[in-house]
Amino acid sequence: MEKVIEAPVRQVWAVLADGWTYSDWVVGTAHMRDVDQDWPRVGTRLHHRAGPWPFSLEDCSTVLACEPERKLVLRVQLWPAGEAMVAFTLEPLGAERTRVLLAEDFAAGPLRWIRTKVNDLVLHLRNEETLDRLSDIAERQKTPA
């Protein structure tokens, strides 16, 4: 899935690199409990709560790969539902626009084995809304050149 954001790549990256904003734009993340100090360095984690209260689950997401202003790959855990691999790739389109590619796939747990067209549609809609929210924040944010 992809979206073109009307903001330079440094502004989009600034949102991805601020772990405390994830609950603002990642659909399903209800609350950020903690962010490792060196986020988004490889191996650092976001500690989050996902889902509606009182059924929310606490878990974490770990950085698997990080190329600043280019790529961020996460292992997102939400046990007992499972875990997913999520990759954000940023491509500058001139000085003021950025193409964001979002790839997500279930890597372990029950969600990996319960693949249906309905689940795929829900995941697609969730990721579309996530990119819309990311876009809204990045387009409003002003970062130094």
Cα–Cα distance, 49 to 137 (Å, whole number): 21
Split at pLDDT 50, 70, 90, the class of 67 is: very high
Split at pLDDT 50, 70, 90, the class of 124 is: confident
pLDDT score for 105: 80
- HSE-up of residue 6 (Cα within 13 Å, Cβ side): 3
Structure confidence by residue, pLDDT tens digits, 9-45: 999 999 999 999 999 999 988 899 999 999 999 999 9
pTM above 0.85, yes or no: yes
User: What is the residue-wise DSSP string for 59-104?
Assistant: EEEEEEEEETTTEEEEEEEETTTEEEEEEEEEEE-SSS-EEEEEEE
Split at pLDDT 50, 70, 90, the class of 104 is: confident
